[in-house]
Amino acid sequence: MLVWVKDRDHLAEICAEHEDYFVLVFWGSFSDASERALNELKQFADDYKKIPVCVVDVEKVRGVHKEYGVGNVPTVVIIKDGKEHGKIEGVESAAYYAARLGGAAPARIARPAKKKALRVTVYTSPGCAPCSQVKKYLRDNGISFRAIDISRDERAAKEIVRRSGQQAVPQIDINGRIVVGFDRGKLASLLGIRTERSAT
């Protein structure tokens, strides 16, 4: 749930009510990055309805950011058991927030809305730059995957040719669907990763 902090008293109530775990977002309307981060955090809040996501407008609720050691917006502060558990500065994707914030939450509140489990396998070979880019992209977006080096696994090499008709790597198997190459658009669509809009 996404809640806008009205004032210091309201924040004190939130701290008391959710002392075991909540997320505090420092936001400013003057920051384009804040707007982008808020859109991603709204998506996260929709998926993780039991995790309180509390937004502080630094222009309206003044001085609170200093108490949390926040110098820039957007900054996300994780509060666990009444103490700061970590910070995320800048804009991240909803998937990244899910991995960091949902993963840190107590098990009883960390259950997101039902989504189909992802089974992701990346077929790679040594010295393949796009393979490394795909794996970094998946890690950055909080996607777990299994990597198979086809130069060491002849059966896997034959299997990807049988399934895709191609020997090229990387090939990414997402719940049985094959993506050949680092096709960011296809990966984002199949994995449910929200892509950032380009600035106008």
- The verdict on residue 62 lying in a domain is yes
Tell me, what amino acid is at 48? Y
Contact criterion met (CB below 8 Å) for 53 and 3: yes
Q: What's the average model confidence in pLDDT over 47-71?
A: 92
In this structure, are 94 and 129 located in the same domain?
no
In this structure, are 9 and 70 located in the same domain?
yes
- Nearest alpha-carbon partner for 92 in 197, 196, 198: 196
- The verdict on residue 198 lying in a domain is no
In this structure, are 48 and 96 located in the same domain?
yes
In this structure, are 24 and 95 located in the same domain?
yes
Residue 77 has pLDDT above 90, yes or no: yes
Give how many domains the chain has, as a whole number. 2
**DSSP single-letter state for residue 101:** I
pLDDT of residue 197: 41
Planar angle of CA 81, 87, 91, nearest 5 degrees: 135
Kindly report the backbone phi and psi dihedral angles of residue 106, in degrees, each rounded to the nearest multiple of 5, phi listed first: -55, 145
CA dist., res. 51 & res. 22, Å (int): 6
Q: Could you tell me what percentage of the chain is helix, strand and coil, using 3-state DSSP and rounding each to the nearest 5? A: 35, 20, 40
pLDDT of residue 56: 96
In this structure, are 51 and 132 located in the same domain?
no
pLDDT of residue 188: 87
pLDDT of residue 132: 96
Asked whether the whole model's pTM tops 0.75, one would answer: no
- The verdict on residue 110 lying in a domain is no
Range of the domain at 135: 120-191
pLDDT digits (tens, 9 = 90+) for 151-200: 999 999 999 999 999 989 999 999 889 999 999 889 988 888 766 543 33
Q: What's the average model confidence in pLDDT over 37-42?
A: 92
In this structure, are 68 and 151 located in the same domain?
no
pLDDT of residue 193: 79
pLDDT digits (tens, 9 = 90+) for 3-24: 999 999 999 999 899 989 999 9
Contact criterion met (CB below 8 Å) for 55 and 2: yes
Number of Cα atoms under 13 Å in the Cβ half of residue 84 = 13
- The verdict on residue 79 lying in a domain is yes
Q: Which of 38, 73, 104 is the last residue of a domain?
A: 104
- The verdict on residue 197 lying in a domain is no
Q: What's the average model confidence in pLDDT over 35-59?
A: 91
* Structure tokens belonging to residue 89: 């500065």
In this structure, are 72 and 46 located in the same domain?
yes
Specify the residue for token string 């009205």: 6
pLDDT digits (tens, 9 = 90+) for 102-149: 878 887 776 665 566 789 999 999 999 999 999 999 998 889 999 999
